Structure 1
Amino acid sequence: MSRIDVFVAPKPNPALIRAMTSVNRIVMLRGIPGFRDILPFNRLAGLRGVANVRHIDFPHADLERLRASCGAGKATFITPNHPEFFTDWMIDKEIVSQVSPLAASWATNGVVNGLGRLMQKFWLANNLIAQIPGNSAAAKEHSVAWALKGHGVLLHPEGGVGWHADIVAPLLPGAVEMGLEALNRGRAADPDFQVWIAPVVWKLAFTRNVETALAKECTYVEKSLKIEHHATDTLPQRIHHIYSTLLARDEAAWGLSSNEGATYAERQKALVAKLGRRLGESIAVDTVVTDDLLRRARRWQRENTGDAERQKKVRALADTIQRLQRVGPWASANPRITPEEIAEHLKRIRNDYCKGGLRDTMNRFIPQPAGPRRAHIRVPDPLGLHEYAGSVDDAVAELHRRMQDTVASTVAELAATGSFIFYPNPFYRH
C-alpha cells in the first residue's frame, strides 16, 4: 500500500503550533503593513498575505459562543463551511487558535501524506489528521480519542471545496457519528459529559473593485481553454460563455446534440441524466443520478480493479458527472451576481479544466485571490448531542439548516451595508 493511503497518527507539537499561528496570521492572511500595498512588494504573496485576507470580522458574541462549547469535560467537533481551498485552513487555524489551540484538523491524504516524509512530519506536528478515502476508520478513532481529551476536532462536513460560499452543500454525517461515539464513551465515565457539534461559517468579501484583475484571470482561462469571447461581452457573460462552451464540448464527447434554445441548466441536466443512466448500466445499478450513485461507482472501482477497460469507462463517467454537478442550481437562482461569485466561478473552472502546467498546479494548491478581502466569521448555535433526541440524519439536517441560515443572514447583512457590487447574472435566464 502506498504511504499516501496509510494513516499515521498526528504528533502535535505545541511550540510549533503556536509559532505557525503567528506565521499564518501575518504571512498567510493579513500580509505585512507597509509592504502589502506597495509595488513591487505586493506581488510577493508572503508580503501581501498569501490568501490576502486583510481584515477579520469575528464578533465577540460569536467568538464566545464557540468558546463556550469547547474545553475540558466535553468533546467538540468544529464544523466550518468549505467555500475555498487553502484559505480554508488559514481561516480555520485562526479560529481554533482562539478557542482550542491544540485542536486537530482533518485534511486530505494528498496534503498530509503525499508531499514527502518531511512535509508529512510537519503536518502531523501541526495536528493534521489524514483522511484516507474509503478507509477512514483509523482517523475517526483517533478523532474521538482526541476530542475526549477536551481538545477540539475540526472537519469540513461539506467534504470537498465547491467554490460557492453562499450555499452550504449537503453535509456528510462523519462529525455527528463521531460525536455520538464520543458521547457513549464520555458518558460511561461521566453521566454529565457533553458533546457539541460547533458549526462555523465564513464569507469573504473584496474590499475594493477587482473587476480588472478578474478580467485578466478570465482572459488567461479563455486562452488556456482555447475559447474566444465577444468584445462586447461583460465579465459575467464571458464566464457564462466559457461554461456553455465547455458544456457543448462534453455534449459532443458523449454523443448528445446541443439544444441551443435551452438554458445552461436545462442542457446540463439532460447531459447528467444521460451519463447517469450509462454509469448505472456500467456498474449494474438501477438508480437515478444521486450522490449515492457516485459513491457506488467509486466503490465499484475499488472492488473491480481487474477490468481495466471497464474501469476507465466508469471513472470517466463518474468524473464527468461529478464535474458537471459542481455548477449547481444556485448558479442560476439569483438575477444578480457579485465579483466574489465570479471569482469562485473562475477558480472552479481553473481547478476542473485547466491542467498540465505548473501555474495551474500551483493555483489548485494555493489559489490566488483577485484582491484584498475581509473575512466575516459567524457562529451558529452549536448542536448539543447530549441533549438531542433525533437520528443522525436529523442532526445532520439541523446542522445544515443552522449553517445555511447563518450564511444567508450574513450575506444579506453585507449586501445591505453596500459590501457587494452587483452585475446581471447571465445564468439566471440562459
Structure 2
Amino acid sequence: MSRIDVFVAPKPSPALIRIMTFVNRIVMLHGVPGLRDLLPFNLLAGLRGVANVRHIEFPDDDRQRLKACCGGGKATFITPNHPEFFTDWMIDKEIVSQVSPLAASWATHGVVNGLGRIMQKFWLANNLIAQIPGNSGAAKEHSVAWALKGHGVLLHPEGGVGWHANVVAPLLPGAVEMGFEALKCGRATDGDFKVCVAPVVWKLAFTGDVEPALARECGYVEKSLKVERHAADTLSGRVHHIYATLLSRDESTCEMLPDAQASYAARQKRLLTELSRRLGKLIPVESAPVESGIDEIAELLRRSRRWLREGAGDAEEQKQVRTLADTIQRIQRVGPWAWSSPRITQEEIAEHLKRIRNDYCKGTLRDTINRFVPQPAGPRRAHIRAPEPLGLHAWQGSVDEALAELHRRMQDAITAIVGQVEAGGGFIFYPNPFYHR
C-alpha cells in the first residue's frame, strides 16, 4: 500500500497547535489590520486573510454550550456543517481553539498523507486524523480512544463539500456510531459516563456588494469552459447559462436532444434517469434502480463504488462504471435547493461559481490552486451557532433516528441565521433563474 492509504496515529504538539491557532486567526482568517484594505497589500492573501473572514460572530451562550460538552468524564464528537472548502478547517480550528484546544480533526488522506513525509508530520502534530476511503477502522478506533480522554473529535457529518451553505446535506453516520462505541467503552468503567454529538453550524455573508468581483470570476469561468456570454444576462442569469450549457453537453454525450423550453430541474432529472439506467445495466444486481430519485441514485452509487472496490468486471467495464458514476455525482451536485426560491443571493452565486470551478475547470495551475485554496470575492462575516448537543447517553432511538434529529437541529440553526442576516439587510438578492415551482 502507498503511504497515502496507511493510517498513522496523530502525535499532537500543544506548542505547535497554539502557534498555528495564532497564525490561523491572523493569516488565514482576519488578515493584518491596517494593511488588509490597502493596495498593494490587500492583493496578498496572507495580509488580507486567505479566507477573508473579517468578523466572527460566535455568541457566548453558544460557545459556553459547546465548551460544556468537552472535558474529563465525557466524550464529545463535534459535527460542523461543511459549506466551503479550506475555510472549513480555518473556522473549525478557531472554534475548537475556544472550546477544546487539543481536539482532533478528521481530514482527507490526500492532505494528511499525500503531501510528503514532512507535511505528514506537520499535520499529525496538528492532530489531524487521516480519513482513508474504504479503510477507516483505525481512524475510528483512534478517534474513540482520543474522545475518551476528554478531548473533542471533530468531523464533518455531511462528508464532502457541496457549496450550499443554506442547506445541510444528508448526514453520514460516523460520528454517531463512534459516539455509541465511546459510550460502551466509557460505561464499562463509569456508569455515569456521558457522550455527546455536538453540532455546530456556520454561515458566511459578504460585508458589502461584491458584484464586480463575482462578474470577473464568472467571466473567467465562461472563458475557461468556452461558454458564450449573453450580454443581456444578469449575473445570476450568466451562472444559470453556464450550468445549462454544461448540462447540454452532458445530454449530447448521452445522445439526448436538449429541451431548451424545459426547466433546468426537469432536464437534470431526465438526464439522471438515463445515466442511472445505463449504470444499472453494467452492475449485475438483482434490481438496479433506474429512477432519478435521490435515495435510488444514492443506493446505485453505493453499489457502484462497492463493485469497483471488489475489482469486478474487466478494465473497460470498470472505466464505464467509473465514468457514469462520476458523471451522476457531478450533475447531482446541483440539488433541489438551487430552484426552491425565486431569489438568489450573492453568496449563493459565489457558491455556484466555486462549485463549477471545482467540478469543471481543470488543467491549469490557477485551477489547481483554486481547488485547494478557493478565494472569496470579498470580505465576509462568519455567523457561528452551536445547537443543543445530542446526548447519546440519554438517547433511546436508533442511529438513523439520531442522525435525523442531528440534521434537524443543524438545519434549524442555519435557517435561523439566514433569517437573522436577511432581516438585518445583510443579503443582496437577484432573480433566481433556476427557480422551479
TM interval, short-chain normalised: over 0.9
Where does residue 244 of structure 1 map in the other structure? 244
Where does residue 293 of structure 2 map in the other structure? none
**Paired residue total:** 430
Q: Distance in 1 between matches of 2:201 and 2:230?
A: 38
What amino acid maps onto 2:341 in structure 1?
N
Moved more, 25-34 or 273-282: 273-282
Q: Distance in 2 between matches of 1:377 and 1:429?
A: 30
Q: Distance in 1 between matches of 2:65 and 2:270?
A: 45
Where does residue 160 of structure 1 map in the other structure? 160
What are the within-5 Å matches in structure 2 for residues 227-376 of structure 1? Answer: 227-285=227-285, 286-288=287-289, 289-304=296-311, 307-376=314-383
- SS of 2:188's equivalent in the other structure is helix
Where does residue 292 of structure 2 map in the other structure? none
Q: Distance in 1 between matches of 2:58 and 2:26?
A: 17
What are the within-5 Å matches in structure 2 for residues 1-16 of structure 1? Answer: 1-16=1-16
Q: Distance in 2 between matches of 1:170 and 1:360?
A: 28
> How far is the alpha carbon of 1:305 from its aligned partner?
6.0
Q: Distance in 1 between matches of 2:402 and 2:203?
A: 24
Q: Distance in 1 between matches of 2:327 and 2:204?
A: 29
Q: Distance in 2 between matches of 1:120 and 1:72?
A: 29
- Is the 2:265–2:436 Cα contact (8 Å) retained in structure 1? no
- SS of 1:166's equivalent in the other structure is coil
Moved more, 262-271 or 295-304: 295-304
What are the within-5 Å matches in structure 2 for residues 28-427 of structure 1? Answer: 28-285=28-285, 286-288=287-289, 289-304=296-311, 307-427=314-434
What amino acid maps onto 1:87 in structure 2?
T
- SS of 1:371's equivalent in the other structure is coil
Q: Distance in 1 between matches of 2:115 and 2:306?
A: 26
Q: Distance in 2 between matches of 1:195 and 1:287?
A: 39
> How far is the alpha carbon of 1:429 from its aligned partner?
4.1
Q: Distance in 2 between matches of 1:57 and 1:69?
A: 20
Q: Distance in 2 between matches of 1:5 and 1:271?
A: 35
Moved more, 66-75 or 305-314: 305-314
What amino acid maps onto 2:366 in structure 1?
R
- SS of 1:290's equivalent in the other structure is helix
Cα shift readout 1:110-151 (whole Å, capped 9, x = no counterpart)? 110111111111000000000000110000000000000000
Cα shift readout 1:132-176 (whole Å, capped 9, x = no counterpart)? 001100000000000000000000000000000000000000000
> How far is the alpha carbon of 1:39 from its aligned partner?
0.5
Q: Distance in 1 between matches of 2:277 and 2:115?
A: 38
- Is the 2:340–2:436 Cα contact (8 Å) retained in structure 1? no
TM-score, length-normalised on structure 2? 0.97
- SS of 1:423's equivalent in the other structure is strand
> How far is the alpha carbon of 1:278 from its aligned partner?
1.1
> How far is the alpha carbon of 1:290 from its aligned partner?
2.3
> How far is the alpha carbon of 1:287 from its aligned partner?
3.1
- Is the 2:344–2:432 Cα contact (8 Å) retained in structure 1? yes
CA RMSD of aligned residues (A): 0.9
What amino acid maps onto 1:365 in structure 2?
F
- SS of 1:32's equivalent in the other structure is coil
Q: Distance in 2 between matches of 1:173 and 1:312?
A: 29
- SS of 1:55's equivalent in the other structure is strand
Q: Distance in 1 between matches of 2:415 and 2:189?
A: 40
What amino acid maps onto 2:356 in structure 1?
I
Q: Distance in 1 between matches of 2:267 and 2:357?
A: 21
Q: Distance in 1 between matches of 2:214 and 2:112?
A: 31
Q: Distance in 2 between matches of 1:291 and 1:97?
A: 36
Find out whether 1:19 has 2:19 as its counterpart: yes
Cα shift readout 1:218-243 (whole Å, capped 9, x = no counterpart)? 00000000001111110000000000
Q: Distance in 2 between matches of 1:118 and 1:296?
A: 37
- Percent of pairs with identical residues: 76
> How far is the alpha carbon of 1:195 from its aligned partner?
0.1
What amino acid maps onto 1:84 in structure 2?
E
Moved more, 280-289 or 335-344: 280-289
> How far is the alpha carbon of 1:277 from its aligned partner?
1.3
Q: Distance in 1 between matches of 2:300 and 2:313?
A: 21
Q: Distance in 2 between matches of 1:326 and 1:232?
A: 27
- SS of 1:204's equivalent in the other structure is strand
- Is the 2:9–2:124 Cα contact (8 Å) retained in structure 1? yes
What amino acid maps onto 1:139 in structure 2?
A
What amino acid maps onto 1:374 in structure 2?
R
Q: Which runs of 5 or more structure 1 residues have no equivalent in the other structure? A: none
Q: Distance in 1 between matches of 2:312 and 2:210?
A: 47
Cα shift readout 1:352-380 (whole Å, capped 9, x = no counterpart)? 00001000000000000000000000011
- SS of 1:75's equivalent in the other structure is strand
> How far is the alpha carbon of 1:258 from its aligned partner?
1.1
Q: Distance in 1 between matches of 2:86 and 2:311?
A: 34
Q: Distance in 1 between matches of 2:206 and 2:231?
A: 26
Q: Distance in 1 between matches of 2:255 and 2:118?
A: 47
Q: Distance in 1 between matches of 2:83 and 2:31?
A: 21
- SS of 1:334's equivalent in the other structure is coil
